[in-house]
Amino acid sequence: MTIEVDRPQSITRLVGFSDPDREVWARVLRHPSVAIGASIVLLLVLVAILAPVLGTVDPKAIDPAYRNRSPGSVHVITAPDGQQTTRTFLMGADTLGRDVYSRVIYGSRVSLIVGITVALISTSVGLAIGLLAGYLRWVDVVVMRVMDGLMAIPGILLAIGLVAVWGAGLATVVLAIAVPEIPRVVRLVRSLVLTIREEPYVEAAIAAGTPTPLILIRHVMPNTLGPMIVQGTFVCASAILIEAILSFLGIGIPTDIPTWGNIMAEGRQLFRVYPHTILFPGIFVAITVLAVNMLGDGLRDALDPRTKSP
């Protein structure tokens, strides 16, 4: 078959658009709640990274001389050589005389690490399983029953079990939070794949002899990414909350590591007298979760053409 072109004049009429992804991201970044949420999250990430230079002291340092100081109290320390330095407890000190400000700032590291790694693990594992389950009929039956089973296990119970087996630690906590999230992601991906696999462009790829793994990677997966990013932010927010809850219950990160949950757990007993040890980490948890959720909500609105504001 040879093609000879005899009509050089073309009827193409082109509209001025660029790459659709760039177009979408420009719209996403203009969305107000994406902008606000993302900047708060970015600020928190910076705080976590720059923790040592933000006027903090060793968050684990115990000093019985400064037990239960109120926020904002200033103390003059006289060194043995007579030199005097002043020290401000911005958020007070806890029952062991540790600086709450430093602990909260360092604590943001754990929260963000847990939030982001849980989101990455559960979405990527969930994406892989969901793609297979949605596209291959015979995988679907088996995988979805396993996922139903997983969803029946309470997350906190799983965490207690894992901590009992492997001991408390960051990896255990991340795993304990990520595993119960996976079935939710799988269900989302599977439902997306079930509609995408019926799209004519997928059928065209089948008719063009494209092998199934390539169809999944080229045609199906890229079209699930929008909802996946949104789901990822919600997973991240809930992981931060669950980590705080687990630490608060004493089954999360070991107590010597400052995390928001740990700080609140330790402040619990003297909560009525010195509320600041619970108040400040609590405010940080709330702001972080709120910011991540705002980011997710905004992304959902901006990525979903149906909710585009008129």
Partner 1 sequence: MPASVLQIRGLTVALPPGSDRAHAVHNVTFTVNAGEIVCLVGESGSGKSITAQTIMGLLPRALRPLGGAVKLDDEEILQASEVRLQQLRGSRMSMIFQEPMTALNPVMTCGKQIDEVLATHTRLSTAERRAQTLGILERVQISDAQRVYDAYPHQLSGGQRQRIMIAMALVLKPALLVADEPTTALDVTTQAQILSLIRELQRERDTGVLFVTHDFGVVSEIADRVAVLRLGELIEIGATREVLGNPRQEYTQTLISSVPSLKPRAAPRDPNAPILLQTDNLTKVYGGQHLFRKQPPLQAAHGVSLTIRRGEVLGIVGESGSGKSTVARCIARLVEPTDGSIRLGSDEIATLSHRRLRPHRRRIQMVFQDPYRSLNPRRNIAEAMIEGPMNFGLNRADAIRRAGELLEFVRIERTALARYPAQFSGGQRQRICIARALAMEPELLIADEAVSALDVSVQAQVLRLLDDIRKRLGLTMLFITHDLRVAAQVCDTVAVMQRGKVVEYGDVARIFADPQDDYTRALIDAAPGRHANFGALRREGYPHGTGEHPPTIVQSSC
Which positions touch partner 1 (CB under 8 A)?
Answer: 1, 3, 5, 7-15, 17, 19-21, 141, 199-201, 203-211, 218-219, 222-223, 310
Q: How far is the CB of 145 from partner 1 (least distance, A)?
A: 10
Of 69 and 219, nearer to partner 1 (C-beta) is 219
Residues linked to residue 77 through DSSP beta bridges, in sequence order? 85
Q: How far is the CB of 185 from partner 1 (least distance, A)?
A: 21
Using alpha carbons only, give the angle 35, 38, 42 rounded to the nearest 5 degrees.
Answer: 135
Q: How far is the CB of 226 from partner 1 (least distance, A)?
A: 10
Of 24 and 170, nearer to partner 1 (C-beta) is 24
Of 169 and 227, nearer to partner 1 (C-beta) is 227
**Spatial distance between the Cα atoms of 177 and 115, rounded to a whole number of angstroms:** 9
Residue 82 is given by DSSP the state S
Of 103 and 190, nearer to partner 1 (C-beta) is 190
**Spatial distance between the Cα atoms of 198 and 190, rounded to a whole number of angstroms:** 13
Handedness of CA 36, 37, 38, 39 (dihedral sign): positive
**Among the listed residues 233, 239, 235, the one whose alpha carbon sits nearest the alpha carbon of residue 301:** 233
Which DSSP helix (H) or strand (E) runs through 267?
Answer: helix 260-267
Q: How far is the CB of 223 from partner 1 (least distance, A)?
A: 6
**Spatial distance between the Cα atoms of 112 and 303, rounded to a whole number of angstroms:** 24
Alpha-helical regions (H) of 50-169? 100-135, 137-151, 155-166
The token pair at 73 is: 């109290």
Of 10 and 84, nearer to partner 1 (C-beta) is 10
Instruction: Output helix, strand, coil percentages for the chain, rounded to the nearest 5.
Output: 70, 5, 30
Q: How far is the CB of 36 from partner 1 (least distance, A)?
A: 24
Of 12 and 85, nearer to partner 1 (C-beta) is 12
Q: How far is the CB of 43 from partner 1 (least distance, A)?
A: 32
